[in-house]
Amino acid sequence: MKAFDKRVKIVATIGPASGSSSVIRDLIQKGVNVFRLNFSHGDHETHRNTIRKIRSVTDRLGVDVAVLADLQGPKIRTRATEGNRPVEVKTGSLVRITSRNVISDATVISVDYGKLAKEVGAGQQIMINDGAIRLKVTGIGKNGDLIAKVLSGGEYASHKGVNFPDVDLSIPSLTRKDRSDLDFILKEDIQFIALSFVRKAQDVISLRKIIEKKRQDIKIIAKIEKPEAARAIDSILDHTDGIMVARGDLGVEATPFTVPILQKELILHANARAKLVIVATQMLESMIQHPLPTRAESTDVANAIIDGTDAIMLSGETAMGKYPGEAVATMAQIVQETEKSRFINHDMVDLTRNDRSAAHALCEAAVWAGRDLGGIPLCVFTLSGSTALYLSKLHYEAPIIAFSPENQVVKMLSLAWNITAVPLPFITDIEELHTSGEAKMLERKWVKRGDFIGIISGTNSIRGATNTFRIRKVGGV
């Protein structure tokens, strides 16, 4: 897609259906801005090769995309069933939930968590296989097994997810596998790390301490997939760079009926704090098998865009689906059609809850001035990307171009709403710096001579020195 064709960004998950260079190229050309690597699957060598392919393709295309590494996190699962075959659990029956390593069947379900009897009590619910089976604990047996009544029966098999809604489990937010994956990730060309099953701000703080020992330039995305995380969203936002509304597990634990409103609330909170937000899970799920989405799926994607998300994500659709390219093209077209509608809010987002700074005031002034002049392009010269991210969150609808000498920042800004980032070496002479940025825009035919542009920058090209906004005529001063 061409620059400025859409403001909302698209995240696509890489998997067996999309791991080749040819498919990666196709997905980028159809609108992908960020590739997600799911560390629940694949080994380090596979992920390393995927990153190399992505960078090789983007180098040839002359574009920049971000890579998001999604940690598996502490997912609790059922142990093996006989022959790994599906097992049916009947509604109204009694079953034992055990941490003992035994074969699971219709009466005994073994899960890989050893503190069940200590942390789960009578009256609490257990969900298995994305909520297909719903249980209520009635008591604890002498051997530490939980006795549970089946409220809603269904099938499960080996290694299916087990959820404990509103139970404060002591399981750590980072597993041994996550720490091994982090050792690998921090050596690679990665821009974002997604932390799974966040419950509280401390989970993000712990991850940041590990990251910052080795790198300062990776952003954290906290996945909100547990009700307690949704309740603690403000404190989590204090410490994360962005959130992912991960509606799969969130829908299991918080019930599907509350997810639509939770999604809106989470986006609202993230935008008010000038933090990135991705909406994910089951957005075009039917396109795993079919070349066109359902009308309900198209509506769901459009509503996330209207809610004000920075990005929308494809999971199985591109990882293992039959139509990865069609899924991306469909999502891009929904973005374009929705962004032309009268339902997009063009009012400046209220960021008064954010810490104030000169750079923020300049961004707000630039938005007002840009609108008064009919929607002129706004250019921001940034070393860290923070001013560009803030400007993005004000929801200025005309093109925003971010120039940075830092390749990591250019790639990272691929996730931000309505930001087109361009690599540009910075020089100390500010007038020459502005002229070089203008030349890049002329070269790409984004502007023509005589157009007005707004420029946000510093009078010194050093980090944190943004202190100037000017309106400039292209080809003159």
Indicate the helix (H) or strand (E) that contains 82: none
In a domain, 352, yes or no: no
Query: Is 281 tagged catalytic?
Result: yes
Same domain, 320 and 239: yes
Distant-in-sequence contacts of 182-185, Cβ < 8 A, 24+ apart: 182/71, 182/210, 182/211, 184/44, 184/47, 184/48, 185/39, 185/69
List b or e across 117-144, with b for residues whose CB sees 16 or more CB atoms inside 10 angstroms. Answer: beebeeebbbbbbebbbbbebeebeeee
Query: Is 77 tagged catalytic?
Result: yes
Examine the fold and report which residue of 273, 304, 339 is the final residue of a domain before the chain moves on: 339
Residue 142 pLDDT: 80
- Tell the burial category of 5 from Cβ atoms under 10 Å away from its Cβ (0-12, 13-18, 19+): exposed
Annotated catalytic residue, options 78, 240, 281, 338: 281
Annotated catalytic residue, options 6, 79, 160, 223: 223
Measured CA to CA, the distance from residue 74 to residue 127 in angstroms comes to: 16
CB distance 139 to 117 below 8 Å: no
Measured CA to CA, the distance from residue 381 to residue 341 in angstroms comes to: 31
In a domain, 103, yes or no: yes
Nearest alpha carbon to residue 222 among 206, 319, 213: 206
Examine the fold and report which residue of 305, 339, 373 is the final residue of a domain before the chain moves on: 339
Residue 16 pLDDT: 95
CB distance 112 to 76 below 8 Å: yes
pLDDT per 10-residue tile (average), the chain, 477 residues: 89 97 98 97 96 98 97 91 93 95 94 90 91 93 91 92 86 92 98 95 96 96 94 96 93 86 96 96 96 97 97 97 98 97 82 72 94 96 94 95 97 98 93 94 95 88 77 85
Annotated catalytic residue, options 55, 77, 149, 177: 77
In a domain, 101, yes or no: yes
Matching residue, tokens 């990882």: 319
Q: Is 43 left (phi over 0), alpha (psi -120 to 50) or beta?
A: beta
Examine the fold and report which residue of 142, 163, 184 is the final residue of a domain before the chain moves on: 163
Measured CA to CA, the distance from residue 414 to residue 400 in angstroms comes to: 12
Same domain, 319 and 362: no
Same domain, 47 and 108: no
Q: Count CB-CB contacts under 10 A for residue 159.
A: 13
Same domain, 124 and 187: no
In a domain, 252, yes or no: yes
Indicate the helix (H) or strand (E) that contains 394: none
Measured CA to CA, the distance from residue 291 to residue 220 in angstroms comes to: 33
Instruction: Please report how the helices 247-254 and 259-272 are oriented relative to each other, as an axis angle in degrees rounded to 10.
Output: 120
Q: 294 is in which domain, residue-wise?
A: 9-73+172-339
Same domain, 318 and 413: no
Measured CA to CA, the distance from residue 10 to residue 28 in angstroms comes to: 10
Same domain, 366 and 450: yes
Same domain, 430 and 453: yes
Residue 354 pLDDT: 58
Query: Is 208 tagged catalytic?
Result: no
pLDDT 10s digits, 65-117: 999 999 999 888 999 999 989 999 999 999 999 999 999 999 999 999 988 88
Same domain, 222 and 287: yes
Same domain, 187 and 329: yes
Please give the structure tokens belonging to residue 447: 């502007």
Query: Is 223 tagged catalytic?
Result: yes
CB distance 54 to 116 below 8 Å: no
For the chain, the domain total comes to: 3
CATH number of 22's domain: 3.20.20.60
CATH number of 462's domain: 3.40.1380.20
Annotated catalytic residue, options 6, 7, 9, 36: 36
Same domain, 31 and 132: no
Torsions phi, psi of 169, nearest 5?
A: -75, 150
CATH number of 147's domain: 2.40.33.10
Same domain, 313 and 387: no
Same domain, 335 and 389: no
